Amino acid sequence: MSVPDLASDLQREHLRRKYFIDLEIIEQTRSVIKARLVISSDLFVQVYRNDRFQTSNYALINNGNRVFARDELDGRWHRHIHTAPEEHDFSVQGQKPVSLSEFLDEVEKIMAELDLP
């Protein structure tokens, strides 16, 4: 996943998933993108990619707290499951690389489970 690819994916997912009320591009350069897919004023998906350091972060944020996340650091993935978002899950499933679309599919399941809008 590169910054240009992720920028395209963000636009596509914003239009495809009707519960997103806004797409905020916070920062974008040739090698970095930071954005938010806004669900409500207190609930959003934050997305970050740095091509130079092979770093990706996808996080579901509710009321300022990380609920669920998947992170790639130097090409190695892990996740923060919603039942223990402060912990790092390096299990086989936790290390699985995911696209933005796959992450958003996981987010939808978690939001349903937690009864989030």
pLDDT in tens, 3-58: 999 999 999 999 999 999 999 999 999 999 999 999 999 999 999 999 999 999 99
> Is the pLDDT score of 82 beyond 90?
yes
Cβ atoms of residues 25 and 32 within 8 Å: no
| Percent of the residues in the chain that have a pLDDT greater than 70, as a whole number | 100
- Distance from the Cα of residue 103 to its chain's centroid: 6
Overall domain count for the chain: 1
> Is the pLDDT score of 74 beyond 90?
no
Q: How far apart are CA 75 and CA 25, in angstroms?
A: 24
Cβ atoms of residues 79 and 94 within 8 Å: yes
Question: Could you list the residue range(s) of the whole structural domain that residue 20 is in?
Answer: 3-114
Q: How far apart are CA 63 and CA 102, in angstroms?
A: 23
